[in-house]
Structure 1
């Protein structure tokens, strides 16, 4: 029996040496998990009893148990080297066979699949064309081809327009000239209606005086908000030849009145009509100018006062003649109607034939005609870039100007107007708190551009998708996949505060074509591909597996394990969820073997082996002694 006991000890010590040696051999193997031999003693026993004084039969190896404790994590230069910090195993496909490993030294094969050195493919959750992760598990593959371009369907601009800016552009209704018959303008009452519904009354010649002048009319029309007027009076009733004859006859005197006030004209030294012009211009009447035009004396009063002119001499005489001035009224955009309720002037009639004039009209080449501007890049269906420019022009506040502000928005792409803004700019209104109320009445703050034709630098269409066909209804947001060049400019977050103009955020969802330039792996195991066009895209997510009984896994070499009945079925999940660990990219998990401890174990196993050999040697000596008895 001693021989058997010693032999079992030798076998056990030999296994212990093998396990320790294997641990030492794999001390530098990535992802390797050290093992330890577990032993149990042997006793011979009968069916009913083991006896009163049983003697052991030796030892046997019960199990070689692996330790799945965490190994040290070290950094590498390979972005596809992955380490698991915590529990879990990489899931590998070995030609259809599923294996599990902690060794994360990966690379790419010729088809772009992520594989280890044994061409086992790393499995994970795949992503669709837009980079959305799915719950479908498969072999992770990195597409090395070009990233197809994406046209812009939405441009989000978050701006602040400076409420302190002054109004640069003024749109007015020019009502033309109208003149009353001498001696003055008759009485008339006007009702002026504003865009907020308010009505103001203005009365011309309320006293119904006979010599009511154009200057008096201007005083009335300059009173209501948004209404203004100018006036001139021109007298041209005396010929140059008659003046020369009268001056030559002697005793020449020139009579001039401006607004019923006599203006003395010094005729001493006047020898002809030309010298009379100089004398009139030297008179104490700064609003009067005289000239000879077309053989006649022309007198102009630039304020619209009634003019009376004539002359006396020893020869021909000219009785004083009164001329009534001409009024030219203009109305701002806030006035929507002018009606006559009493009287006979033609002012109300001139409103019906008004023309719209713009002073300091918007010009994208002249920065003096707009308050703010910003430019960003968008892309057509072929991935060509285009510059879209937004111009903001402050307008007079609608109505009475309380609680609301308004800005005009002009849009250009590559220097060409879009959205019809060359003739009808969009109108953005803001409330008293500086928040956007609406754009052209739309509370969503969206502008749909559906008239853009992408062009080359020479101005010819470049072959990309153009605007939708006439009559086509375009819904927002633009549905996928887009089929036209239409896109939405979203200004819903734009504000109007009393601070400097600034672009808070400006984003668009288009991009040009791009080549793969790099790959990043997040802590959740998501593979991000980076492209030369500045875009990134999720290609998939590493899947980790855990088991109810990790020690039940069966090692099959290549630092991998397979599922067994004892391990239970794998639980597959995303890294850093549940009990699964996180992923460290550009890192590997080293072997968890403690080389110092293994060397000590090696000495212990050696001593055990020697001791058991000594047992056999002693038993052999005893047996030999018995054989030698005679």
Structure 2
């Protein structure tokens, strides 16, 4: 009868495990279990075997990946391949496949239990530092501006414009009759404030133009008070040959600094078509405040700023283990490492065996409902068979008792 009891206990364990799997069929990142059974003998290795039944040796998780599905949440992450998210809580590290994250009140990225997502920081040069792990936190600090040092433009000046006698008509920015065409571009000082650099072109004679720069409506000091441009009969610039202008900035009352500015107008022409900037390139940028944060591919944490720029704020790390089956279940979609699992290796997405992080996706449970239901039926049948054997043994025992 004791053998039948071990069979019923083993079947009950199988039923518990199958029920656990089915119950967690919708749990993100859940990995299904299976029962490992072993035969039991009172004496083994002898000619006479004293059979004692069956026992549950243990449970084993299947770390096959679950399906990745889009979630619509910008902070959700899924892993396509091996690896685990690294979570920190009061100095302890946990590992998870359930990538459901959000920001807490201190702007740390956390899972539903409040455990902080760990990854790699970004240094001052904008490069990911993979030498150590940090708790990923969204910095709300503004991004500094960058002063403009160079600009280039391809310009056409309308050859059909009338001549303006600069000896009798002085430049007046508020009176368009005193110049032929005005082109403006934005430049930035060391504090990221935007300024308007105006280029006033005046046709002073046949194939001759005068160029005068203004900054925020005031004359701009540069190498020469004015620049004289001369074109040939084909509309191409002849003097100055390089059309490179070096501008010396004025002192700003704000305390910011404008850097010396190298202007490249080497693509300037004079054809009988509208005057315009055909192409324009300016370095530098204005200061920016954080507008939005999201994950990009490969677990890069990115910030979008009011100046139109995107900056890298960090990168999610993935942990891989020599033996995933050595991980210890912690609950709430988490595991802890052990001597059996081996020490974790921390890598960015897609490197050294780590899977690819997919932004906006979450991993579903890897439970197969059809297999789970069949496991329940098999466990139930195993229990019934052992119960029938127990019933038969009980009947034989009663018969023997009656005979005595």
Same fold (TM over 0.5): yes
Matched, 1:451 2:249: yes
Relative distance call for 1:618 and 1:364 in structure 2 (3 A) is same
Residue of structure 1 equivalent to 2:259: 486
Matched, 1:79 2:77: no
CA distance in 1, matches of 2:111, 2:228: 59
What are the equivalent positions in structure 2 for 1:376-525 lying under 5 Å apart? 376-391=185-200, 409-420=211-222, 423-425=225-227, 445=244, 447=246, 449-454=247-252, 461=253, 463-465=254-256, 484-491=257-264, 494=267, 501-514=276-289, 516-525=290-299
CA distance in 2, matches of 1:493, 1:64: 75
Matched, 1:624 2:379: no
Relative distance call for 1:568 and 1:407 in structure 2 (3 A) is farther
Q: How much does 1:130 deviate?
A: 5.9
**Counterpart secondary structure, 1:539:** strand
Aligned length: 399
Q: Is the 8 A contact 1:114 1:141 kept in 2?
A: yes
Q: Is the 8 A contact 2:155 2:279 kept in 1?
A: no
Q: Is the 8 A contact 2:118 2:136 kept in 1?
A: yes
Q: Is the 8 A contact 1:80 1:107 kept in 2?
A: yes
Q: How much does 1:28 deviate?
A: 1.9
**Counterpart secondary structure, 1:608:** helix
CA distance in 2, matches of 1:88, 1:616: 46
Residue of structure 2 equivalent to 1:596: 370
- Equivalent in 27, 35, 38 of residue 36 of structure 2: 38
Relative distance call for 1:591 and 1:163 in structure 2 (3 A) is same
Q: How much does 1:606 deviate?
A: 1.1
Residue of structure 2 equivalent to 1:161: 155
Q: Is the 8 A contact 1:166 1:394 kept in 2?
A: no
Residue of structure 1 equivalent to 2:113: 118
Residue of structure 2 equivalent to 1:567: 341
Q: Is the 8 A contact 2:285 2:307 kept in 1?
A: no
CA distance in 1, matches of 2:87, 2:255: 44
CA distance in 1, matches of 2:156, 2:163: 16
Residue of structure 2 equivalent to 1:50: 46
What are the equivalent positions in structure 2 for 1:218-257 lying under 5 Å apart? none
CA distance in 2, matches of 1:422, 1:151: 27
Q: How much does 1:154 deviate?
A: 2.9
**Counterpart secondary structure, 1:161:** strand
**Counterpart secondary structure, 1:538:** strand
Q: Is the 8 A contact 2:230 2:238 kept in 1?
A: yes
Relative distance call for 1:366 and 1:549 in structure 2 (3 A) is same
Deviation per CA, 1:140-162, whole angstroms, max 9, x where unpaired?
Answer: 001234x15414233433x3234
Q: Is the 8 A contact 2:318 2:349 kept in 1?
A: yes
Calculate the TM-score normalised by the size of structure 1: 0.56
Q: Is the 8 A contact 1:426 1:440 kept in 2?
A: no
CA distance in 2, matches of 1:61, 1:489: 79
Structure 1, gaps ≥5 residues long: 172-356, 398-404, 455-460, 466-483
- Equivalent in 3, 7, 16 of residue 5 of structure 2: 7
CA distance in 2, matches of 1:507, 1:366: 27
Q: Is the 8 A contact 1:140 1:540 kept in 2?
A: yes
Q: How much does 1:138 deviate?
A: 0.6
366-375 or 126-135, which deviates more: 366-375
Structure 2, gaps ≥5 residues long: none
CA distance in 1, matches of 2:346, 2:266: 43
Deviation per CA, 1:580-614, whole angstroms, max 9, x where unpaired?
Answer: 23333333222122223212211211111121122
Relative distance call for 1:63 and 1:531 in structure 2 (3 A) is same
Relative distance call for 1:26 and 1:407 in structure 2 (3 A) is farther
Residue of structure 2 equivalent to 1:107: 102
Q: How much does 1:23 deviate?
A: 1.1
Q: Is the 8 A contact 2:148 2:189 kept in 1?
A: no
Residue of structure 2 equivalent to 1:557: 331
**Counterpart secondary structure, 1:624:** helix
CA distance in 2, matches of 1:369, 1:161: 20
CA distance in 2, matches of 1:140, 1:20: 37
**Counterpart secondary structure, 2:46:** coil
Relative distance call for 1:441 and 1:60 in structure 2 (3 A) is same
